Amino acid sequence: MNIARFHPYVYYATKYAFYPGQTSLTRHSYSASLYFVTEGRGVFRLRGREYEALPGMMVYMEAGQCHDWASDTDEPMTHVCCYFDWHYVDRTEAYPDEAGPICYDAALLRQELVGEAFPYPLPEIADVSSSLRRWVDLMQKCYTSNEHTTERTFIPNMMVQSHFLQFIDHFLTFSLQEHHIPDPRITKLLGRIEEDLLNGRRVQMEAYSESLGLSRGYFFELFKRTTGMSPIQYINHSLMNRAKDDLRSSNLSIMQIADKYHFNSVHYFSRLFRQYTGKSPQAFRGAAR
């Protein structure tokens, strides 16, 4: 699985108020979709199963799923929703007037245009009533019309996509089980570690674990579970990647590169570099040029 190609992209996000008793036609969205019921009540049907729709209900659907909505007569429903793909799909030729197209006839659904599913299972129905305001606030920043991006809308669309990535980060953190995604405490700490490395600060691991309120042993366990490496291995790996960039693209000597990344000994730097890359710094530079 090439996880690098997953880069969420929102096509259409809005607030939709139903008329009393309004029903939607059975539909299949070409993209994935998320809905949050904010007011009123109704019924949601997905693949033949029926759910009561009340404020705080979150619905996630992978692309191509058959579904429909029906609003209550006395308390008409409102939801905020978005249509997105886990990585961009160009449907402009088939649907020039809709960025987030929907098919109302299963026989006409073009499978080659259906967005790809996320690689891990995500819950389809969830109750987020205790934090609904937070979800709605995040979604509102992503509101965009159901139109393809043009030269005129390109810059505003970049802002929308930026907000949408924050929304999806929140959604995945909420939805995925711990063993499927990195521990959020460690992922936030990685940014601090990178900043420390960029500024030449070598911080003791105990300081990082204490900042999270974790014991040293549990910190190391979480760190390795999240990154696949111990903290020291992660730091050395990051430093070696930077050193490789300097060996490829600069005129710095091996000694200067070792000094740049605060190694006390050029011999230790060279030994560590060979351990991580399989080549000496000199051999790597010769092969890269």
pLDDT (0 to 100) of residue 200: 81
> For position 181, what pLDDT does the model report?
61
Alpha carbons 258 and 272: distance in angstroms, whole number? 11
b/e burial code for range 192-219 (CB count within 10 A of at least 16 → b): ebeeebeeeeeeeeeebbeebebeeeeb
Distance of CA 27 to the CA centre of its chain: 26
Is residue 9 a contact partner of residue 85, using CB atoms and an 8 Å limit? yes
| pLDDT value for 135 | 96
> What was the pLDDT predicted at 228?
84
Whether the CB-CB separation of 121 and 40 falls below 8 Å is answered with: no
Distance CA 234, CA 217 (A): 16
- pLDDT for 182 equals 65
Please say whether the beta carbons of 129 and 55 come within 8 A. Answer: yes
Quote the pLDDT of residue 171: 93
The confidence score (pLDDT) of residue 82 equals: 97
**Tokens describing residue 212:** 């999270």
Query: CA 108 to CA 127: how far, in whole Å?
Result: 33
Q: What is the structure's pLDDT at 125? A: 94
Q: Are 273 and 280 in contact (CB under 8 A)?
A: yes
The Cα–Cα gap between 176 and 182 comes to: 10
What is the reported pLDDT for 197?
A: 87
The half-sphere exposure of 147 on its side-chain side, counting CA atoms within 13 A, is 10
Q: Quick one: pLDDT at residue 52?
A: 96
Residues 6+ apart with CB under 8 A from 166: 138, 141
Consecutive 10-residue runs of the chain (289 residues): their mean pLDDT?
81 96 94 97 92 96 95 97 96 95 94 93 92 96 95 95 95 73 79 86 88 91 87 92 92 94 92 93 88
pLDDT at 9: 97
In single-letter form, the type of residue at position 280 comes to S
pTM: predicted TM-score of the whole model, two decimal places? 0.73
Token code pair at residue 250: 């600069």
